Amino acid sequence: MTSDFLEVIAARGRENDVYRALARYLEREWPFHYAEWTDIPAESGLVERLGAGGPHGLNGAVWRADKFCPYLDLPESIDAYFSSLSINTRKRYRYRRRLEELGMTLEYVTDPKDLPAAIDDFARLHTERRRQKKGEGIFATAAQRQFYRFAFERFLAEGWLELVFLRVGGERVATVCQFNYGDRIYYYQTGYSTAWEQYRVGFVLISLLIEEAIRQKKSSYEFLRGREEYKYRFGATGERRLTDLIVTNGNFTGAAVYRRRVWGRRLREFVGKILPPPVKAGISRMAESARTGGYR
């Protein structure tokens, strides 16, 4: 599992104070050898404060990973959004009309009592789609399933979770999990029945959710990590960049752990370019063991 937009937790307006305090703490506490902050915004003050290191032997390094999160700036009206789409994308709306003729409806899961069964259906549709692409999906292990059930329950209670299904004839044929927080919508995961693929049910559902975000006057629809083509088909034009920050205390052990981490990353990047997903997953787990080098 990965996360996007990780940050130091600080009261609004006190971020720089927290960054300075963290730097001072690391400079004083020599028992640590290696510390890493992953998937933080490239413009984070944490990068500026620790990326160049500090006094007393503290060494900082910024790993310029190619991790980009496309997003769509939402216009004021649905008509304006539709007009901004390419001709080929607008043509896909004919599938929406066909589904409307078949009685298509949207279902938002809002009752906690309905959530367990909804998660089961979400996992089924998500896994079906991922297996079609020779992948595993986010429910591949018992630990993952437990984590997502816990997270979905908590997020639903806070009003952040939007677990949505596209229904046709009473059947759940497509699903999207997204998060409604502040003035943004964060698209997370999707899935659909391959039996309905000819109707482009995944495309139709996302298009409906973007329109709903426009109605809610949200500022942006965040597609999160990955430069998949479909995100730009929906109109994404901007990209938010993530980076990783590495800090060592300057001694031999810290440098050794850092070198192991570098080689682990290079191995994963190499694997990602040349191997099919099942083989890539196995070797990536091996590289992950090199990530920590035995240090936590």
**pLDDT tens track for 114-155:** 999 999 999 999 999 888 877 778 888 888 899 999 999 999
Phi, psi of 261 (to 5 degrees): -65, -45
Checking if the pLDDT of 291 tops 80, the result is no
Give the residue-averaged pLDDT of 3-18.
88
Checking if the pLDDT of 296 tops 60, the result is no
Q: Of 262 and 216, which is predicted with more confidence? A: 216
Lowest-confidence pick of 162-166, 225-229, 245-249, 262-266: 262-266
pLDDT per position as a tens digit, 233-284: 999 999 999 988 888 777 777 778 777 877 777 777 777 677 666 665 555 5
Tell me what pLDDT residue 293 has. Answer: 43
Phi-psi group of 226: left, alpha or beta (phi > 0 → left; psi -120 to 50 → alpha; rest → beta):
left
Q: Of 64 and 283, which is predicted with more confidence? A: 64
Topology given in CATH for the domain delimited by 75-218: Aminopeptidase (3.40.630)
Domain boundaries along the sequence of the chain: 75-218
pTM of the model: 0.81
Percent of the chain whose predicted confidence (pLDDT) is above 90: 52
Q: Encoding tokens for residue 155?
A: 């997020």
274-289 per-residue burial string, b: 16 or more CB within 10 A, e: under 16: eeeeeebeeebeebee
How far apart CA 155 and CA 181 sit, in angstroms, is 10
